[in-house]
Amino acid sequence: MIEKHLNTVPLWFFENLLKHREIYHFVSTRRGGFSNPPYDSLNLGFHVGDNPETVLRNRERLAMALGIPMDNFTTARQTHGSNVEIITKASRGCGAVDFDSAIDATDAMVTDTPGICLMVLQADCVPLLFFDLKKKVIGVAHAGWRGTVRMIAQNMVKVLKEKFNCLPDDILVGIGPSIGPCCYEVGSEVVVQTGEASQHKRKYIYETPDGKHYFNLWEANKMQLVHAGIPEKNMEIAGMCTYCNHTHFFSYRYQQRETGRFGVGIMLLDS
C-alpha cells in the first residue's frame, strides 16, 4: 500500500487497485478529524458513542478530500455475519449521514452501479476490497474472526460469480490493515470454532510454547479466496497491524473497546 495526503487527510491506497482508473478506493486512518479521545480524531462510526455531529464533520472531511459527494457513500449496520448484500441505485446514500438509514445487518456489499461508494468500518477486523476489472463490479467486506469463520470472503466470491458472472481470474483483492498475527491472541472458543469451520486451521492459528493461540486473519482470508479460485497474484495484503500501529489506525483491542472506526471504501466511476 502507499500513503498519500489528500487535502491534508492521510489516506492509504492499494497499489493493485490504484492502477485502475475506473474506480476510486481508499483506506482512512484515525488522523485528520475532529473527534476527541478516545475517538481521536477521524472517527467515521456513528455507533460507537462519539458525538454524531462530530462524526458527520469527519465524514464530510473525508468526502471532500476524496472528491466523492456525501450522498454517494453507502454503509451498513455490521453484525459479524457472512451476508453479502447487492446494492442498487435505490440504496445509494444509505447510512451516509446517520446510523439508522444504513443497510441492515450485513458485513459485505457489492454493486455494479457507478457512483455508489461502498464503505465498511473497522477497528481491528479485516477490510476486504474487491474489483472485477472485466465485468466492472466492486465489493467490500468486513471480516473479524466471526466473519472469517463464517466464510464471508468466500461468500463474496460466490455472489460475484453467481450474480455477476465474474471469473475469479479477473477479480483483484485488497486485504487491508487489521489486527495482525503478532497481536491477535485468541481464546479457546475461537480456536474451537475455527477448527470446526476449517481443516486448514493450523496454517493460520499458531500456538506459542506456553500454550497461547494467535490468529492470522490475513492468511485465513487469503486462503479462502485462493480456495474460491482467486490467484494469489491478484491479492495485495497491506500487512499493517492496527494494534502495533494504534497511533495511526483505531484498534479496538489496544484501546480496550472504546475507540473510533476507520473506513475502507470503493466506488465505480461513470464510464
Q: Which residues touch 261 (CB under 8 Å, ≥6 apart)?
A: 43, 44, 45, 48, 121, 122, 123, 250
- Measured from the CB atom, is 142 or 246 closer to Zn ion? 246
Number of residues engaging Zn ion in binding (CB under 5 A) = 6
| Beta carbon nearer to Zn ion, 105 or 182 | 182
Which of 161, 197, 244, 255 contacts Zn ion by CB under 5 A?
244
Minimum Å gap between C-beta 249 and Zn ion is: 11
Smallest separation (angstroms) from Zn ion to the CB of 216 = 11
CB of 151 to Zn ion, least distance (A): 25
Which of 241, 266, 267, 268 forms a contact with Zn ion (CB under 5 A)? 241
Interface segment toward Zn ion; rule CB under 5 A; list 105-113, 174-182, 200-208, 257-265? 174-182
**The cell 465485468 sits on which residue?**
135
CB neighbours of 205 closer than 8 A, spacing ≥ 6? Answer: 186, 191, 194, 213, 214, 215, 216
186 binds Zn ion (CB under 5 A): no
Nearer of residues 28 and 242 to Zn ion, judged by Cβ: 242
Footprint of Zn ion on 69-108 (CB under 5 A) = none
Q: How far is the CB of 86 from Zn ion (least distance, A)?
A: 35
For the residues of 2-48, what is the DSSP string, one character each?
EEEEETTEEEEE-HHHHT-TTEEEEEE-S-SS-PPTTSTTT---TTS
Phi-psi region of 181 (alpha: psi -120 to 50; beta: other; left: phi over 0): alpha
- Cα–Cα distances in angstroms (integers) from residue 270 to residues 9, 109, 113, 259, in the given order: 25, 19, 9, 36
* Torsion of Cα atoms, 18 then 244 then 144 then 30, to 10°: -60
Listed ranges 133-141, 145-153, 163-171, 239-247: which one lies at the site for Zn ion (CB under 5 A): 239-247
Decide if residue 182 touches Zn ion (CB under 5 A).
yes
State the binding string over 29-68 for Zn ion (x if CB under 5 A, else -): ----------------------------------------
DSSP H stretches of helix in 97-172: 145-149, 152-164
**Of 85-93, 155-163, 241-249, 250-258, which part binds Zn ion (CB under 5 A)?**
241-249
- Among 97, 95, 92, smallest CA distance to 114 is for 92
CB of 183 to Zn ion, least distance (A): 3
Which residues lie near Zn ion (CB under 5 A)?
180, 182-183, 241, 243-244
